Amino acid sequence: MNTYNIALLAGDGTGKEVTDEAVKILNAIGEKYSINFKFEPALIGGCAYDVYKTPLPDETLNIAKSSDAVLLGAVGDWKYDSLPPEVRPERALLGIRKGLNLFANLRPATVYPELTSLSPLKEDIVSGTDIMIIRELTGDVYFGTPKGIELKNGEKFAFNNMCYFENEIKRIAHVAFKVAMQRNKKLCSVDKANVLDVSRLWRETVIGISKEYPEVELSHMYVDNAAMQIIKNPKQFDVILTGNIFGDILSDEASMLSGSLGLLPSASLSERKLALYEPIHGSAPDLKGKNIVNPIATILSAALMLKYSFNLNKEHDVIVTAVRKALKEGFRTQDICQIGSKTVTTSEMGNIIKNNILH
């Protein structure tokens, strides 16, 4: 029997509630297809700070490094808002991304036909939207140096450095072109090349890499226009490739096309086999312990793990089908409830999806 070791980093707030359901689903897949998933829990975020005075303890990073894949819930809680920036829970996310070299962040924004009416946009604009955003995750202004806040000419002066090495752009471009090859072969690279030198290098480098993928139709868009086009006509996009900060913003924007942050998974890949999977939503500490949050984003993140880390494509598809069946049958957590739908709790949604897998 194949065994996969999964580092389980539930994190803060409702993180545990959603990862519990994803574990339930992976175990159901294991039962059905005779696969052994072993979970090793570790602390990350505020809960790690409480114990270790750091949001990303070495133990956690080591458990993640020696695993076959990492499943993460979410980090953050208002009770840590007054901590210095270096030990805030969010720092753990940046730390684990850098520590595991997870440079490629895949954020699909899929609009489910059953849920088009949930979108804040008109149904005819969003229906059929299926965008894959590829966000560079370990560079850009997030990690650039020098950075800081100093006194200059008698006043405070703050600075961060937006920067990319050509090689960082090349490797994320390769990921994006490969993903595009498996989809509709359309890639839109988003930058701000009319203003930023970094973006000029970005565009030039992406054009260079495109020669290796002649079948992929490459286009370029300035980020401000892209923000507008995602709302105006989201269906024009197949794969969007962009840097860390633009990708952060555009992926939140695109997520709303589907109607709820609670539906969207993500995968963060490295050059090695190791990868991390997490829902794109946060820890929602106000909803903690109520058993009402939507576990689907985390369940679909587990499905992405099967596909990208373990090459279990059939098993990935089985989870996606089971999720869609639950939605088709009208089961809804509170965030996506509609007139006539059946409202269920977090764990009930997990059980329904599990039953769809097993029966």
Task: Provide the CA 216 distance to its chain's centre, in angstroms.
Answer: 24
Taking contact as CB under 6 A, which single stretch among the options 28-36, 90-98, 147-155, 305-313 is the one that binds ligand IPM? 90-98
Shortest Cβ 230–Mg ion spacing (Å) = 15
For residue 185, indicate whether it is catalytic.
no
Q: State which residue, 248 or 253, has the beta carbon closest to Mg ion.
A: 248
Residue 142 a catalytic site member: yes
- 317 catalytically annotated: no
- With CB under 6 A as the contact rule, the residue among 93, 297, 300, 323 that binds ligand IPM is 93
Q: Which of 130, 217, 248, 348 binds Mg ion (CB under 5 A)?
A: 248
Residue among 35 and 198 whose Cβ is closer to ligand IPM: 198
Nearest residue to ligand IPM, scored by beta-carbon proximity? 90
Q: Which does 253 bind (CB under 5 to 8 A by kind): ligand IPM, Mg ion, none?
A: none
Residue 115 near which of ligand IPM, Mg ion, none (CB within 5-8 Å, type-dependent): none
Q: Is 112 a catalytic residue?
A: no
CA distance 295 to 125: 26
Q: Does 248 bind ligand IPM (CB under 6 A)?
A: yes
252 included as an active-site residue: yes
According to CB under 6 A, which one of 20, 40, 68, 90 is a site residue for ligand IPM? 90
Q: Which does 20 bind (CB under 5 to 8 A by kind): Mg ion, ligand IPM, none?
A: none
Do the Cβ atoms of 89 and 80 come closer than 8 Å?
Answer: yes
- Looking at the Cβ atoms of 11 and 57, the one nearer to ligand IPM is 11
Is residue 305 within 8 A of residue 106, CB to CB? The reply is no
The contact set with Mg ion (CB under 5 A) reads 248
The contact set with ligand IPM (CB under 6 A) reads 90, 93-94, 248
* Positions marked catalytic: 142, 192, 224, 248, 252
